[in-house]
């Protein structure tokens, strides 16, 4: 059973302010929760689940505290349109470590607004073996439930750091800074790279002028048809597929 106060507490975690104060976030659904329970670096603090999920998942639950709840209770605490058996409170990841850029590809996101885009980009990074995503402070919050959901578990494997991008990139002297722009080198015919920072800009405004100045190599996905733009997550996929494989 869930006491009222606990329901209220979980509901407040829909807001960034409370998530930050508590240092936790919400993850939902059997696949995502099981993935987080299995991940080495994710600390699942508490699980709330229907009986059938609990009986089928003893193996992954281990010593994590689990509360059995009813479907109506799940509906009250869930952020999903269609609640799905299980909800977990997970500790936010440590993102204070220094950013190391040599010998790897680092994604940089300048003011990505849409939570679905951010989550999908984290999932794409994970697919292509990109270990870290550096976001401007005005990018969507990685612990927003819609972002968490869209990562499909990759949130446990990709390091996401928020920092002032211009200051950081100005100090970055070791690797090349690439940027996805409207004009630049054809990304589909360039040499593969093993190292570098790749910057992607806001859904409608692109890379801000302040950052654009700091780009060493401009990349472009050539357009053959008439669409005005590509979705930014799709652009990340096309660029990583072209330069990193």
Instruction: Provide, rounded to whole angstroms, the least separation between the CB of residue 38 and its own copies.
Output: 11
> From the CB of 18, what's the least distance to its own copies, in Å?
23
Site residue total, its own copies (CB under 8 A): 40
40: Cβ contacts below 8 Å, ≥ 6 apart: none
Compute, in degrees rounded to 10, the torsion defined by CA atoms 169, 172, 173, 175: -90
Q: How far apart are CA 142 and CA 73, in angstroms?
A: 26
- Contacting residue, 118, 125, 133, 134, with its own copies by CB under 8 A: 125
CB burial of 212-230 (b: ≥16 within 10 Å; e: otherwise) equals eebbeebbbbeeeeeeeee
Name the minimum Å distance from CB 31 to its own copies. Answer: 8
**Cα separation of 160 and 112, whole Å?**
13
5: contact with its own copies by CB under 8 A = no
With vertex at residue 168, the alpha carbon angle to CA 164 and CA 170, rounded to the nearest 5 degrees, is: 125
User: Residue 229, interface with its own copies (CB under 8 A)?
Assistant: yes
Q: Which is nearer to its own copies, 24 or 161 (CB)?
A: 161
Would you say 57 or 73 has its CB closer to its own copies?
57
Residue 29 within binding range of its own copies, rule CB under 8 A? no
Pick one of 9, 128, 162, 168: the residue that binds its own copies (CB under 8 A). Answer: 128
Helix (H) or strand (E) segment spanning residue 122: helix 115-127
**By CB under 8 A, residue 183 contacts its own copies:** no
Residue from 157, 180, 198, 201 in contact with its own copies (CB under 8 A): 157
In 3D space, the residue among 132, 121, 41, 26 whose CA is nearest the CA of residue 77 turns out to be 26
Task: Rank residues 183 and 228 by Cβ distance to its own copies and give the closer one.
Answer: 228
CA distances from 177 to 4, 160, 174, 219, 222 (A): 51, 18, 10, 10, 20
Name which of residues 184 to 223 contact its own copies (CB under 8 A): 186-189, 221-223
Q: Does 129 bind its own copies (CB under 8 A)?
A: yes
Residues near its own copies, by CB under 8 A: 116, 120, 123-130, 152-154, 157, 186-189, 221-231, 233-238, 240-242, 244-245
């Amino acid at each position: 059973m869930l006491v009222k106060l606990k329901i209220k507490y979980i509901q407040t975690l829909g807001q960034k302010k409370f998530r930050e104060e508590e240092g936790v976030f919400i993850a939902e659904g059997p696949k995502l929760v099981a993935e987080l329970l299995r991940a080495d670096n994710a600390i699942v603090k508490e699980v709330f689940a229907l009986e059938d999920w609990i009986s089928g998942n003893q193996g992954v639950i281990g010593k994590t505290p689990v509360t059995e709840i009813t479907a109506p209770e799940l509906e009250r605490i869930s952020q999903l349109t269609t609640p799905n058996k299980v909800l977990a409170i997970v500790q936010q990841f440590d993102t204070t470590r220094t950013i190391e850029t040599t010998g790897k590809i680092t994604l940089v996101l300048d003011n990505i607004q849409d939570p679905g885009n951010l989550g999908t980009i984290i999932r794409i990074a994970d697919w292509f073996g990109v270990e870290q995503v550096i976001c401007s402070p005005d990018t969507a919050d990685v612990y927003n439930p819609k972002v968490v959901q869209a990562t499909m578990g990759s949130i446990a494997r990709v390091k996401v750091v928020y920092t002032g991008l211009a200051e950081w990139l100005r100090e970055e002297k070791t690797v090349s800074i690439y940027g996805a722009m409207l004009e630049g080198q054809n990304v589909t015919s360039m040499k593969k790279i093993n190292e570098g920072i790749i910057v992607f800009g806001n859904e409608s405004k692109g890379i801000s002028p302040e950052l654009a100045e700091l780009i060493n190599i401009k990349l472009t996905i050539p357009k053959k048809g008439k669409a005005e733009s590509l979705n930014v997550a799709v652009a990340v996929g096309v660029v990583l597929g072209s330069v990193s494989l």
